Structure 1
Amino acid sequence: MLATLRDQTEPVTMAALAALSGLHVNTVREHLEALTRLGLVHRHASAPNGRGRPAWLYLATGAEGAPSEYAGLAAALAATIHRTSDTPTEDAAEAGEDWGRRLADERGARPVADATTARGEVVDLLDELGFGADSDPSNTVVRLTRCPLLAAAHQFPDVVCGVHLGLVRGALTAYGADTQGTDLVPFAEPGACLLRLGSA
């Protein structure tokens, strides 16, 4: 959804986004509400045109990554977990799983029968969070070309990348997908981390 919005040169309505994305308007609404809460989308009312309430217009904010104060907080928390935990990667992944389930629930996640669709929902979530997710057709191998917490991830990859892997596992669970084989390889190639979402 965020990628579709970023492709638009001017603010668009929810109905237009539904038509562009092929998603039901209720699904689009849930995505837009989550993106607005994350500060990745700006919403404002259109000019009045006849009777009834003006339509809301949506525009991607252009925000890349977390605001600096949140990135600083994330780095401080990562440093503390790294320093004080006997199992920082596992603790970070556990926290990430809780976060991933919560984020998916906020998007109205329900288990889906098709694993590719479930993985696709998680890829969309990652894209909305600013990871620049680029997946293969089966949504099994995903290149993450951006990181909202890149500086902290370079300093404390065990914690930050652990949280991100947990986030993925938690979201997969919320969509009813198997998490076995899910793995994240930080900085696997220049400019990208590599995420594997189980098997096709």
Structure 2
Amino acid sequence: MNNSPRSLGPAPTPVAAPELTAAQRATLEQLRTADGPVRVGEVADGLGLHANTVREHLDALVDAGLATRTRAASSGRGRPAWLYRAAPAEDATMRAYAGMAIALAGHLRRTADDPRAQARELGRAWAHDLTDHPADVLTHLREFGFAPVSDESGIALTRCPLLDAARRYPDITCQLHVGLIQGALDALGDTDTRPVLIPFAAPGVCTLRLESDGAGADADPDSDDDRPGR
């Protein structure tokens, strides 16, 4: 796939680790052994390197899909610091899942009375199998391979674990992801939040909004703009 700046939507979740320098591997190891998200300075202290050097390594890991970056909570004036954490280890069977997702989406489109609704229910059931521990939605999204970044407009999904299927069958695959997110909310006991997914919303991202059940309650859940990236 061409991931040029003009392409809409997220990047694929990597299926193989890119080649890293020794310094980048050491930085990644610091993230993987940390108890939670860490600031640049904490990683720099652990490695004995200058913060600017470590920031470059961290940003390279984010670009490679091996780490995620989110803003810390605001604590006063100035822009909050970035927090970094290691992305989940890649599953060697991701390619097989991607192929299966394409076949499944095509089958649903051909045979289901309501393919989108059926895809949401399948996604919800899939999430119940994957979410074996309570955690916030961002944590689950990271574990699912979406590399989420929270901002003022919602949650930007910068990676897609089933991007090939989403581009071929966006109406089906993106609804599977909606169900997956709803299943993660189910695991938290949250019955008041509805995920609204805007596929291929902008270059590099899909956008997820978590709305209260009353917000846009009259909206058609199948009305999302499922545009494949251009």
CA distance in 2, matches of 1:83, 1:146: 28
* Partner amino acid, structure 2, of 1:159: I
1:180 CA drift (Å): 3.9
CA distance in 2, matches of 1:174, 1:73: 25
Aligned counterpart in structure 2 of residue 94 of structure 1, from 100, 110, 121: 121
Aligned counterpart in structure 1 of residue 34 of structure 2, from 13, 17, 36: 17
Aligned counterpart, 1:131: 146
Aligned counterpart, 2:137: 122
Aligned length: 144
Of Structure 1 and Structure 2, the greater helix share is in 1
CA contact (8 A) 1:131 1:147 kept: yes
* Partner amino acid, structure 2, of 1:88: P
Counterparts of 1:104-183 in structure 2, within 5 Å, are 104=131, 106=132, 108-109=133-134, 121-136=136-151, 141-183=154-196
* Deviation sequence 1:43-86 (CA, Å, 0-9, x none): xxxxxxxxxxxxxxxx8687489632221111111111111112
* Partner amino acid, structure 2, of 1:17: A
* Deviation sequence 1:76-135 (CA, Å, 0-9, x none): 11111111112011000001111122322x1x22xxxxxxxx6xx111111122111111
CA distance change for structure 1 residues 83 and 127 in 2, over 3 Å: closer, same or farther? same
Q: Where do 5+ consecutive residues of structure 1 fail to align?
A: 1-5, 23-39, 41-58, 110-117
* Deviation sequence 1:139-188 (CA, Å, 0-9, x none): x8111011111111011112111110001111111102235442111111
CA distance in 1, matches of 2:155, 2:181: 11
CA distance change for structure 1 residues 129 and 196 in 2, over 3 Å: closer, same or farther? same
CA distance in 2, matches of 1:95, 1:144: 20
CA contact (8 A) 1:66 1:148 kept: no
Aligned counterpart, 2:112: 85
Q: Where do 5+ consecutive residues of structure 2 fail to align?
A: 1-23, 39-65, 67-85, 216-230
CA contact (8 A) 1:65 1:149 kept: no
CA distance in 1, matches of 2:106, 2:192: 27
CA distance in 2, matches of 1:182, 1:175: 14
3-state secondary structure, aligned to 1:9: helix
Q: Quick one: percent identity of the two aligned structures?
A: 41
